[in-house]
């Protein structure tokens, strides 16, 4: 009977593999079924935006991730698209497909296109490579105001370089909204504004009671010219 038990036990061990050795064998490490972006699409990983994605990076993020990442195309365009969409349904840069795009790489760096704005970048941006900032970037950076006493402020780069409605110091913006301008207050006297001698000064940007001297021209006789304060 003892022999039969021993034989039966051995048979069970044999049937299960190597007997007790099966319990001692380490389980093989399970490989991830979700490859990383840099593995699945190394060519796309090269277009990963170096600053706008926070702590995310192509070496650790999954190729099937739904994270909406920022990308940088060969022509310097910045755009958002989910990682899995770029990997499996990539349609390229949406800005490159816009009508009228020349296909020529243009100078898009802030320092080259807007050197005067580059001088207003705050020292709080020490962690950034200021020379690599693009003029139409959506990145939020720190700026300094030329008015003494105004604190540094944050603004997107593209908001500062906007040709139609540029944004700047919020304190200055609020002051301009509250101001009443001379040309709006006195439209009849605005007709006497001397366009030549006042140069590029905009009458509709001069606040009331500035106390500054400007040139005026008589509306009845253009030979009559004089200087007077606006306020």
pLDDT for 93-151, tens place per residue?
888 888 877 665 555 788 887 888 999 999 999 888 888 888 878 889 999 998 888 99
Residue 52 · residue 138 · CB < 8 Å: yes
Looking at per-residue pLDDT, the higher value among 13 and 207 belongs to 207
Torsion of CA 115, 116, 120, 124, to 10 degrees: 0
- Write out the two tokens for 23: 């319990």
Q: Which of 62, 53, 17, 12 is nearest to 35 (CA)?
A: 62
CA distance 46 to 229: 60
Strands 68-72 and 225-229 turn out to be unpaired
Instruction: Assess contact for 36 and 63: CB atoms under 8 A.
Output: yes
Instruction: Parse the chain into domains and list their residue ranges.
Output: 37-88, 110-177, 180-229
User: Alpha carbon of 10 to those of 1, 14, 21, 25, 26: distances in Å?
Assistant: 14, 6, 13, 18, 22
Among the residue ranges 34-38, 64-68, 102-106, the one predicted with the least confidence is 102-106
Among candidates 126, 165, 168, which has minimal Cα distance to 145?
Answer: 168
Q: What is the pLDDT of residues 198-227, one digit of tens each?
A: 777 776 666 654 567 888 888 777 788 888
């Amino acid at each position: 009977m003892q022999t039969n038990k021993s034989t039966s036990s051995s048979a069970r061990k044999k049937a299960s593999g190597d007997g007790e050795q099966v319990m001692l064998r380490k389980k093989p490490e399970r490989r991830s079924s979700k490859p990383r972006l840099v593995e699945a699409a190394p060519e796309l990983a090269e277009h990963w935006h170096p600053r706008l994605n926070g702590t995310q990076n192509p070496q650790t993020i999954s190729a099937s991730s739904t994270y909406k990442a920022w990308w940088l195309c060969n022509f310097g365009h910045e755009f958002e698209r989910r990682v899995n969409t770029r990997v499996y349904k990539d349609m390229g840069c949406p800005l490159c497909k816009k009508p009228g795009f020349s296909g020529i790489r243009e100078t898009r760096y802030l320092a080259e296109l807007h050197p005067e704005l580059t001088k207003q970048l705050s020292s709080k941006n020490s962690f950034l490579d200021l020379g690599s900032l693009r003029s139409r970037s959506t990145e939020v950076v720190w700026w300094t105001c030329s008015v003494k006493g105004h604190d540094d402020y944050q603004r997107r780069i593209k908001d500062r370089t906007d040709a139609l409605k540029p944004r700047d110091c919020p304190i200055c913006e609020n002051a301009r909204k509250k101001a009443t301008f001379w040309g709006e207050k006195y439209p009849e006297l605005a007709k006497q504004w001397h366009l030549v001698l006042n140069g590029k000064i905009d009458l509709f940007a001069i606040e009331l009671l500035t106390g500054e001297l400007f040139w005026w021209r008589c509306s009845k006789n253009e030979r009559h010219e004089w200087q007077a304060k606006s306020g």
